[in-house]
Structure 1
Amino acid sequence: MADAERLRRLLAALGAEDPQGWAESEVRENLPQLARYRLLRALSQDIEAWDSAAIDSLRAWMKAEGTDPTDPVAETTRIARAVARETVFSVLHRLADPNGDDLPTELRQQLPGWLLMETTPAGEPTHRVLGALYEDLGTTESPAAAPGDRTVADGWIRETNLRAFCESLAAEVGYDFDDSDWLAIDTALPHTDDEQPRSAWYAYPLVGRTRLDLHVARSVGGGEVSVSVRGTVDSRTRIRVELLVDVMARYAVAPG
C-alpha cells in the first residue's frame, strides 16, 4: 500500500471529511497531517462535551460557593473562567497522552503521537519532555480560580463491589486503573468513616480524557461504602456514572 493510500485510509477511519486531501498534503509537503488531525479531533470532542448538563453543573458549583446567581456578570465571569480552566486542562492532558482518546486499540497502534519538548533560547530541542503538565495546573492558580465541588453522583455501593466500581469509573474517562491504584484505595479505606465530613473521606483522582475525583468512606459496622464522584462531564457520562452507582448498590458483581 502506498504511503498516501495508507494515510488516506487511516484519516478516513478517524472521520476526516477530506482524507485524500490530508494524505496528499502529508506526502507532498512533508507535514504531520495525520498526527495533526488526530489531535484536533480529540480537542473537538472536548469542546462538544460542554453541553447543558456541564453548564448546569457549573451553576450548581457557583451556588454552593456563594456566587449570586442573579448577578449575570458574576455568573458569566465564573462560567467563562471555569470553562477556560477545564479547556486548558484538557489540552494539556491531550498533549501528554495521545492515546487518551476513544479509538480502538488496533487503530491506535497505526497512528503517530506527539510530545511537548523544551527548547533552548535559540529554539534548539533539549530533548527534555514537558510531561503531565495537567497534574500541576492547580499549583499556578489562585484559590478563587480553581474549580470547586461539581458533583457527578453521590450514593453508596456494596463494599465487595468497590474495585469493580473503581475500574468501571476509570474506564469512563479512559484511565488505566491497575493494582497500584487499587492498593492505595484499599489501604486507605479502613481508616475512613462516612459519618465524618466529606472533607475527611479518602479522595482519589482518575485522570483520563477528563478528570474525575472519587471520594470514598466506609459505613462502619455495615457492608457498604459511601461514594461521591466529582468533576465536569457531559450528560452522557453523568447518566452512566449515576447508573453505575445504582448497579453497584443493587447487585453483587462477580470478578471477571
Structure 2
Amino acid sequence: MTDAETLGRLLAALGAEDPQGWAESEVEEGLPQLARYRLLRALSQDIEGWDTASIDSLRAGMNAEGAHHTDPVSEAAWIARAVARETAFGILYRLADPDSDDLPTDLRQQLPGWVLMETTSAGEPTHRVLDALHEDLDTMAPSAEAPRSRTVAEGWIRESNLRAFCESLAAEVAYDFDDSDWLAIDMALPHTDDEQPPSAWYTYPLVGRTRLDLHVARSVGGSKVSVSVQGTVDSRSRIRVELLLDVMARYAVALE
C-alpha cells in the first residue's frame, strides 16, 4: 500500500480538488481511489469533448447519409443514439487501455491501472479479462440503426507522404500504426481509382481511443492520393486532422 503523502501528490498531479482526502480514503478504507479518480478523470474529459462542433458533425453526417427526419423529435433521437454509441465506445476503450489518457509518461508509470474481469455466477473472479470490447461494439448494433461515419476531413495529399499521414492520423487517436498496417494500405492502393465513388475506395480502420476510418484512392496517372477521414472527433482533433491534410498536400515529408 502506498503512503498517503505519495498518493496525495499523484492525485494532485491528476488535478483532484481534494487530493489528500482521496489519498486518506485509500489508505484508511483500502479503496483504490487513485485508480478510480484516474478512470473518472478520463471519462469526464470524453464527456467534455462533446462540443457544438461534434454535434454539428453528427447532424451533417446524418444528412449526408440521407437519414432525413420530418420532425425534431426523430432527429434528436437519432443524434442521441449516435452520442450514446460514441460514449459507450469511449468507456469500453478506456477500460481496455488505462494508458489512453493524456498524461506524461513519467506520471503514467507511477499510476495503477485496471482490468474488466469475468466472474462466476457466485461473483468469484475467473481471472479471464474482457479485453478490447470496443472493437466489437459495432457488430452488436442493428445495421439500420447504427450511426455511420462522419466526415472529419477530406482532400488529397502527395502519395509519397501517405505513410507519414497514416502514422500521424493514427497518433491522433492513440492507435499503434506499424509495418503490418502500412503493408495492407500499400498493397491495396495500386488497385484504387479516385474517379470511382468514395464507397469504392480502400478503407482502413484506425481504432484507438476513438475510431477513424481512412478512405484512400490513387489519382490515376498522377502522384497524388485522395483521402477522406471519417469518424466522430471533437473540434480540436478536427482542426489538427485538417491541418495535417493541408501539410501533407503542400510539403514533401521525410520519414526518419
Unaligned runs of 5+ in 1: none
Q: How does 1:59-70 map to 2 (within 5 A)?
A: 59-68=59-68
Corresponding residue for residue 136 of structure 2: 136
> Is 1:40 equivalent to 2:46 in the alignment?
no
SS at match of 1:99: helix
Q: CA deviation digits over 1:127-146, x for unaligned, max 9?
A: 11111111111111111221
In the alignment, the residues of structure 1 paired with residue 238 and residue 69 of structure 2 have an alpha-carbon distance, to the nearest angstrom, of: 23
Counterparts of 2:39 and 2:167, CA distance in 1: 26
Corresponding residue for 1:236?
236
Query: What's the RMSD between the two structures over aligned residues?
Result: 1.2
The answer to whether the aligner puts 1:154 opposite 2:154 as a matched pair is yes
Q: How does 1:9-158 map to 2 (within 5 A)?
A: 9-68=9-68, 71-158=71-158
* Counterpart residue number, 1:188: 188
What SS class does the counterpart of residue 168 from structure 1 fall into?
Answer: helix
Gaps of 5+ in 2: none
Per-residue CA distance 1:159-191 (angstroms, 9 max, x = gap)? 111111111111111112122211221121112
Contact 1:82 1:145 in 2 (8 A): no
TM-score, structure 1 as length reference: 0.96
Distance 1:45 1:181 in 2: 29
Residue identity opposite 1:139 in structure 2: T
* Partner amino acid, structure 1, of 2:56: D
The number of residues matched between the two structures is 255
Instruction: Output the amino acid matched with 1:211.
Output: R
TM-score, normalised to structure 2's length?
Answer: 0.96
Q: Secondary structure at the match of 1:110?
A: coil
Secondary structure of 1:147's match? Answer: coil
CA contact (8 A) 1:68 1:74 kept: no
Change (3 A) 1:67 1:199: closer
Distance 1:48 1:144 in 2: 28
Given that 1:194 and 1:218 are in contact with CA atoms closer than 8 Å, whether structure 2 keeps it comes out as yes
1:207-233 C-alpha deviation (Å, 9 max, x unpaired): 222111111111121111111001111
CA drift of 1:65 comes to 2.7
**Aligned partner letter, 1:5:** E
Contact 1:175 1:206 in 2 (8 A): yes
C-alpha separation between the residues in 2 aligned to 1:33 and 1:164? 40
Can you list the C-alpha shifts for 1:28-47, whole angstroms capped at 9, x where unaligned? 11111011001001100110
Shift of 1:68: 3.2
Q: Which amino acid aligns with 1:104?
A: P
Contact 1:158 1:248 in 2 (8 A): yes
